Chains A and B, each alone.
Chain A
Amino acid sequence: MSKSERPSQLFRNLNAKVASIPMIFTALVIFVGGTLWTVLYSFTNSKLLPRLHFVGLDQYYRLWATPRWLISIENLLIYGVLSLVFSLVIGFLLAALLDQKIRFEDTFRTIFLYPFALSFIVTGLVWQWLLNPEFGVQGVVRSLGWTSFSFNPLYDSSIVIYGILIAALWQGTGLIMCLMLAGLRGIDEDIWKAARVDGIPTWKTYLFIIIPMMRPVFITTLVIVASNIVRVYDLVVAQTSGGPGIASEVPAKYVYDYMFFAQNLGQGFAASTMMLLSVIIVIVPWAYLEFGGKKRV
């Protein structure tokens, strides 16, 4: 290590540099290079093959004038807000229930988390079957005598996104519960004792002491859930294929379909750049709060 003469700055610690080549390649070529490439080509009129023929913001004007894209964005907003709220609330409540020193905690946790091990394709197909209007929940309730009962989200374009939401919550809340549980376990037992000595009711302790203390856990969970929401694709493909009509389209599916089926690469690039923009809007404030503050201290 302590050689008196260094051969060259470049060859010092050579093994570590060789070992990092895949990381450097991924970081620079794929993540930075690929992203810049896509953003650049979103300003061109590429159709079947990428071509550097710039048309300014035309693709973006066209994108925001396409009904299918507008529906995709609307769906993403509804799905995103609701799945954020519900998965955080349900996840926290389940974690709080499991944190009461109950018996069979491992069994319950295993049950709540197992859907998370399944793929979105499997999740989507199971719920497609459960929500089947003829044989699923609606059919069963009707056969019990309530013939006017109607619960048919997958074939009703005004509520189809809620059908997808149900499946997504079934699959994903277990993860949130686990994260919340880890957060709850990280809280000092003395806090609980102090609150009890002061006679503060349990729900008040949760609301005004524990939840504010779990702020970091909530923020990381929020970021994870939010960046997964933008990516939602497989679930929609499996459960509804974007139907009925275009009622359950999402941006990720728009990108894929325009790139690989409609052979309209420019539109696909513009749409994916919009997806990137939405992630940046979520990530940058978080990164600023998380890391920007620490550096100054």
Chain B
Amino acid sequence: MSDQAVSSPAIAGAGGLEAYGPSGPKPRHTFSRRNIFLYGTLIVVALYYLLPLYVMVVTSLKGMPEIRLGNIFSPPMEITFEPWVKAWSSACTGLNCDGLSRGFWNSVRITIPSVILSIALASVNGYALANWRFKGADTFFIILIVGAFIPYQVMIYPIVIILREVGLYGSLSGLVIVHSIFGMPILTLLFRNYFTSMPEELFRAARVDGAGFWGIYFRIMLPMSLPIFVVAIILQVTGIWNDFLFGVVYTRPDTYPMTVQLNNIVNSVQGVKEYNVNMAATILTGLVPLIVYFLSGKLFVRGIAAGAVKG
């Protein structure tokens, strides 16, 4: 307890320095017991979080003989990129042996239209809810938000029937519609909250100048809300790319997205398990969301926080 009492002024000191700029001697507490404990814990935890990524990369660069002999944590003695090539272009799922590339391109063809369609629908909808309220709009909105908590399993089969009726079951466009539907609650909430927080005068002034529904949306709202669009894109790209359930339900083997194909490659029961190819395939599948994550930085955090806290 005495340690805590000693450490408290140190926190206050640091805070004070930040607030008033550098004045007075630099506080020397870099190697205090508190800091060693603090950074020690953080570094150990960080290593634990990084470990699976490290093992994935290391395993994917080894040959199978080395994997059978060595341990999974040791760096590769001979670096080989063969597992990556094989995972991309010739790993087998069932009878097809054209690797993950097919799943990758399917995922691209699913993700891009889904992201565009879902964001277009939700942003216009959020704008209507924020600025052009009509009777009953809020009721539908509340149903939409509450509906976001319904387990997908409850709605899967009715959607199968609807898609079968309109002839889209098993096609990529069917899956795009499904993604747009299930992205709607969170995105609409995101856009509605953002547009509501914009100054009302802006909207009124545009109305006085004679701008209509779409005029205000395209000339004022859209250009002023680019950050929230970026947040929505990040949210949707990672979410749709990582989806498995909808992919496996609403597509056929030749249109399977990457996650489904990856699972089929790794968990296939036939043949000898090639752990290095499996890990290369796993990294390849995780690469797109990881790149989005590392490039977007704080916007990613903002996206999930907006999605989560305001929900």
Contact = CB atoms under 8 A, between A and B. Distances in A.
B45 A237 contact: no
A55 interface: no
A143 B279 CA distance: 22
B244 A1 contact: no
Nearest to B56: A126
Nearest to B245: A233
A37 interface: yes
B104 interface: no
B272 interface: no
B31 interface: no
B290 A102 contact: no
A199 B213 CA distance: 58
A237 B67 contact: no
Interface stretch (B34-42, B86-94, B195-203, B225-233): B34-42
Nearest to B52: A126
Interface stretch (A65-73, A93-101, A155-163): A93-101
B188 A23 contact: yes
Given A122-B282, A130-B55, A20 B129 contact: yes
Interface string B96-133: 00000000000000000000000001001101110011
Interface in B28-50: 38-39, 41-42, 45-46, 48-50
A147 interface: no
Contact of B151 (A39, A170, A260, A276): A276
A289 interface: no
Contacts of A115: 49, 52
A233 B156 CA distance: 14
Nearest to A195: B8
Interface in A224-244: 224, 227, 230-231, 233-234, 237-238, 241
A150 interface: no
B153 A272 contact: yes
A217 B132 CA distance: 31
B143 A31 contact: yes
Interface in B49-64: 49-53, 55-56, 59
A262 to B, nearest CB: 14
A260 to B, nearest CB: 7
A30 B71 contact: no
B193 to A, nearest CB: 14
- For chain B, give the interface size range: 35 or more
Given A22-B121, A27-B140, A102-B38, A224 B151 contact: no
Nearest to B279: A129
B152 interface: yes
A19 to B, nearest CB: 4
Contacts of B128: 15-17, 19-20
Contacts of B161: 50
B194 interface: no
Contacts of B184: 22-23, 26
A255 B153 contact: yes
B7 interface: yes
B80 interface: no
A273 B153 CA distance: 9
Interface in B217-249: 238, 241-245, 248-249
B236 to A, nearest CB: 13
A24 interface: yes
A19 B127 contact: yes
A231 B149 CA distance: 10
A81 interface: no
Interface string B126-150: 0111001110010011011011011
B308 A139 contact: no
Tell me which of B150, B278, B294, B305 has the highest count of chain A C-beta atoms within 10 A of its own C-beta: B150
30 contacts: A15-B213, A16-B137, A20-B137, A20-B140, A23-B121, A26-B181, A27-B140, A30-B159, A32-B147, A34-B159, A35-B155, A37-B157, A37-B158, A97-B42, A114-B53, A116-B304, A117-B292, A119-B241, A119-B243, A122-B262, A126-B282, A129-B279, A132-B72, A132-B275, A201-B1, A233-B244, A241-B267, A251-B153, A256-B249, A272-B154
Interface of A: 1, 12-13, 15-17, 19-20, 22-24, 26-35, 37-39, 50, 94, 97-98, 100-102, 106, 108-122, 125-130, 132, 135-136, 139-140, 143, 170, 174-175, 178-179, 182, 189, 192-193, 196, 199, 201-203, 217, 220-221, 224, 227, 230-231, 233-234, 237-238, 241, 251-252, 255-256, 259-260, 265, 268-269, 271-273, 275-276, 279, 283, 287
Given A114-B49, A117-B289, 6 more contacts: A20-B125, A100-B11, A118-B286, A121-B242, A125-B266, A126-B56
The 7 closest A-B pairs by CB, nearest first: A31-B147, A119-B242, A16-B132, A15-B213, A34-B158, A117-B293, A16-B128
